[in-house]
Structure 1
């Protein structure tokens, strides 16, 4: 009998929030990962830490089930919903009174009977709010008075994970999907995680700023996170290129490549000349470049159209640009697409013009549908993902080259069909099974190696 893709363990996939139609491809990728893990035979639960109302969380769970991205509502748990239901774990982890003095406002979290369960500090104007040690005040079972406190959000998150781990059978692997959450889990000043927990941390975005070279500057959040990344049992990069670039400037990180899986066997009946984009309308996506390229494409392919699925602050400016170029009727801004299959069903080509990505899901979806890709050669994702075929790369920011590639695919005899077949073959080689094998290897390594965290003493 062959070895299972994932080693036997309790898997907790931890995100900050999972809200329908929020956070773009990140949310979808997290939900799909959990489904793939369950399909591979793993015991897996999704966890979130956003302090929303339970009624809102229940609606979100129901919607994810309806969309087929969550097996059952109980597969998605929330820290504050758990505290509202039974806060025994919270009181057991609380440090004794008195609560340290602080100047922050607080937000009360109450249960269904309107009994206060805990008070959260409210920290405004600080991008590193999650690292604050402002106390989380824990109340008694009757909601009448405080009985203890936890040191900041890190102390709160750790108390929950430790309680979940204590109730699990066998080893526990936490797959953390959010940098802010991961950062507080290994912060010096927070109480230590249960020694049996292995903590894998995924990455979903480009870690450098413009000009996006390997040695380009990083923003403060990435710099701070990479400074403590050696405390994780494993860091999971989406592409070999990003892993290599990070390892050129940071040492000591246990890391693996675990790419997003590509779907396969999906149908597509293209409308000739229909070029599609699926992304938010923000400057980083550079949709204006695709609009300008379309104007050049239509000189040779007058029936070509650009169909953009997604919304955002640049929508009006893009419509004005299309009108100014005389192609207002050929640029269709469809707005938010709750069902992207409608876009893929008739797509002839897919174009990606972002300044940077992690590994865009839309690129993988294009290959799975047999829709050829034309993409800027950007970090990260396009070069690695298209290495097996299915698309063309053009120099980053070169609108003329973008237009030339689109024109060649729309006019070259048999070129589109050849790339479509290559894309489907590439997607089949990058399926969920391949992604789960990579994740399984990372989990085995973490479970078989000493944790980098034992012996570290929290700061007073």
Structure 2
């Protein structure tokens, strides 16, 4: 579908795909190989799925790294098949080094306000300064300060922009205004980071172009312990909810999280849509090793790998072949290894560490996958396991496992109940017929949660944003 700006009519785009015709810009903070876990992979996969659905889509990042580093990241993503071409991933600071004209046009002329913050220079390939970034430290919300970004031309300061927000909005306005030959398509931004999202809809110069639609995705649980719908939130989430009604749509990964938000704030507070991650296509052949329990996540307290280790002695007593393969690393690694020794299961645990392409190893040989986190958004690993035919045993945490396993493929365990976790693992590992049933139902569930279903859900949200944009 395509919006006629003059009449406000919405028409069918050539091809009649799930996504309306628009200029899609997926905006993230950074997309660095092997950083930020499932977030990075989910953003790249979304872009691939959108392009496969016929969308005109460009990825945008704002991390102030060097162009050579960004080029290396692009090359690696292309190698892994998660980026169609290097040109489809742009970075603000690469753009400003290569052509700073948009920055200079947006700069506010006149004296630059004083600032308590030191600055970091950004220079072009010749070493000439292009801009100075404020370096905001301490407890300050760096992305919301008005600390000036000094703008240069021919070595002299010619003006300034108010903070990162002014810089981000100026760049997005410039990118959105770039003409698509033969087309006049409305720019639709999918913002993937809360801090960046706040800067886009906050008042300031330059304002975000009124013709740009902004849909904000979510990737994480919004509440703190005890993780109920009315539990406290941290300051960043509280601040984000204060301005979230300025987005043309908020995209939740699960119905459960959307329902909890609406229960808390009212169904009319936000324009909410459920756009889940799609289950990927897993091509690795399934050859499960009997008794192999797989964990695939960072080794940090939130993932509660210690719960799985504490369940392992009971599992081994019932299923002597049971053993644990742990993919991932993190700050808790040494502590977890010590716990395995203390529990007497160190001989049954193999610490794989980080691998760039775990799918070819983990899912092909896994007998069962276990997830014991305190909270998630919608964990990609659960979808990957289902698609590979690997049964899932997961705590019933917010958010993701309950919604994702609703149509089969796994066992939900009361949150935090280690004995129940052990019992579920024993059940799956010791009953081969039960495992086969879960494997088959998981594959069927994953097939129904494919990229086409995710794109249809996204298309619904985009059509609403095109037809009825919010007033900012």
TM-score range (shorter-chain normalised) is over 0.9
2:380 counterpart of 1:378: no
Q: Could you tell me how far apart the structure 2 residues matched to 1:451 and 1:147 are?
A: 35
Question: Which residues in structure 2 correspond to 1:16-55 (within 5 Å)?
Answer: 16-55=29-68
Q: Which residue in 2 is equivalent to 1:304?
A: 322
Deviations 1:73-123 (A, max 9, x none): 111000010000000000011111111111210111000011100011111
CA contact (8 A) 1:226 1:250 kept: no
Q: Which residue in 2 is equivalent to 1:289?
A: 307
Q: Could you tell me how far apart the structure 2 residues matched to 1:20 and 1:339 are?
A: 11
Q: Could you tell me how far apart the structure 1 residues matched to 2:422 and 2:140 are?
A: 40
- Where does structure 1 lack aligned partners over 5 or more consecutive residues? 454-460
Q: Which residue in 2 is equivalent to 1:100?
A: 113
CA contact (8 A) 1:184 1:190 kept: no
Q: Could you tell me how far apart the structure 2 residues matched to 1:337 and 1:328 are?
A: 21
User: Which of 156, 166, 171 is the matching residue for 1:160?
Assistant: 171
| Residue aligned with 1:50, SS | coil
Deviations 1:58-79 (A, max 9, x none): 1111111111101111110000
Q: Which residue in 2 is equivalent to 1:88?
A: 101
**Displacement of 1:207:** 0.1
Q: Could you tell me how far apart the structure 2 residues matched to 1:43 and 1:181 are?
A: 22
Q: Could you tell me how far apart the structure 1 residues matched to 2:29 and 2:171 are?
A: 14
User: Which of 262, 281, 284 is the matching residue for 2:279?
Assistant: 262
Return the TM-score normalized by structure 1.
Answer: 0.97
Q: Could you tell me how far apart the structure 2 residues matched to 1:149 and 1:291 are?
A: 55
Q: Which residue in 2 is equivalent to 1:457?
A: none
Q: Could you tell me how far apart the structure 1 residues matched to 2:282 and 2:371 are?
A: 22
Task: Could you list the structure 1 runs, at least 4 aligned residues long, displaced by more than 2 angstroms after superposition.
Answer: 188-191, 264-267
Q: Which residue in 1 is equivalent to 2:464?
A: 445
Q: Could you tell me how far apart the structure 2 residues matched to 1:2 and 1:157 are?
A: 33
Q: Could you tell me how far apart the structure 2 residues matched to 1:219 and 1:117 are?
A: 36
Q: Which residue in 1 is equivalent to 2:236?
A: 221
Question: Which residues in structure 2 correspond to 1:283-432 (within 5 Å)?
Answer: 283-341=301-359, 342-432=361-451
CA contact (8 A) 1:139 1:147 kept: yes
CA contact (8 A) 2:106 2:206 kept: no
**Displacement of 1:265:** 5.4
Question: Which residues in structure 2 correspond to 1:57-76 (within 5 Å)?
Answer: 57-76=70-89
Question: Which residues in structure 2 correspond to 1:186-225 (within 5 Å)?
Answer: 186-225=201-240
- Where does structure 2 lack aligned partners over 5 or more consecutive residues? 1-13
**Displacement of 1:413:** 4.0
CA contact (8 A) 2:326 2:353 kept: yes
CA contact (8 A) 2:303 2:373 kept: yes
CA contact (8 A) 2:161 2:205 kept: no
Q: Which residue in 2 is equivalent to 1:133?
A: 146
How well do the aligned residues superpose, as a CA RMSD in angstroms? 1.1
Return the TM-score normalized by structure 2.
Answer: 0.94
Q: Which residue in 2 is equivalent to 1:277?
A: 295
Moved more, 248-257 or 35-44: 248-257
Q: Which residue in 2 is equivalent to 1:121?
A: 134
| 1:265–1:124 Cα change, 3 Å | closer
CA contact (8 A) 2:249 2:272 kept: yes
CA contact (8 A) 2:64 2:93 kept: yes
| Residue aligned with 1:248, SS | helix
Q: Could you tell me how far apart the structure 1 residues matched to 2:133 and 2:33 are?
A: 25
Q: Which residue in 2 is equivalent to 1:185?
A: 200
**Displacement of 1:52:** 0.5
